[in-house]
């Protein structure tokens, strides 16, 4: 019997505000950030990344962060008017016919109905979140749960600003 290569196409949709709150709580630091360079390969586990979409409420989205996501993962950052729930759900529904698996990075129980809908459309749905802040019903309804741990984070330390000396 020959080996059969199975190629899955995966979309990762991240509720930025939910994940950021969870990781800040996990390590008790407002400077904790997801290390996508370690997390994405762990989530994909050899599968192909179709796209990475990062939804975030508010205007303070770093342009450097957006550039890195785009350069490294062809990712896009979506600023949201209020919560990410509705824009993320709409995008997930649009992607359902284009990918095999959708990974939702959030522990919010608001996504339970979305998970159920996507699964009814034949999409595999996985959740990636911090276990302590993830709704049990979301874990139960998903096909797989990826725990985000301290190993998937880094603490951002802003470069010190050097004082400039002006010539008189």
pLDDT means per 10 residues in the chain (168 residues)? Answer: 74 95 91 91 94 86 85 88 92 97 97 98 97 97 97 82 53
Q: Where are the domains of the chain?
A: 9-155
Please, are residues 24 and 130 in contact by the beta-carbon 8 Å criterion? no
Please provide the CATH number assigned to the domain covering 9-155. 3.40.50.1010
Residue 76: helix, strand or coil by DSSP?
strand
Rounded CA gap, 137 and 142, in Å?
Answer: 9
Q: What is the pTM of this model?
A: 0.88
Distance CA 96, CA 111 (A): 15
């Amino acid at each position: 019997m020959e080996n059969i290569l199975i190629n899955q196409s995966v979309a990762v949709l991240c509720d930025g505000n939910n994940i950021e709150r969870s990781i800040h709580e996990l390590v008790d630091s407002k400077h904790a950030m997801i290390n996508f360079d370690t997390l994405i390969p762990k989530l994909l586990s050899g599968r192909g990344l179709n796209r990475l979409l990062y939804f975030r409420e508010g205007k303070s989205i770093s342009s450097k962060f957006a550039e890195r996501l785009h350069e490294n993962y062809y990712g896009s950052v979506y600023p949201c008017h209020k919560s990410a729930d509705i824009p993320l759900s709409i995008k997930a529904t649009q992607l359902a016919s284009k990918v095999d698996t959708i990974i939702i990075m959030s522990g919010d129980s608001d996504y339970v109905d979305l998970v159920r809908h996507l699964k009814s459309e034949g999409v595999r749905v996985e959740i990636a979140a911090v276990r302590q802040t993830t709704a049990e019903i979301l874990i139960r309804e998903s096909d797989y749960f990826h725990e985000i741990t301290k190993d998937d984070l880094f603490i951002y330390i802003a470069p010190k600003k050097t004082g400039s000396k002006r010539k008189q």
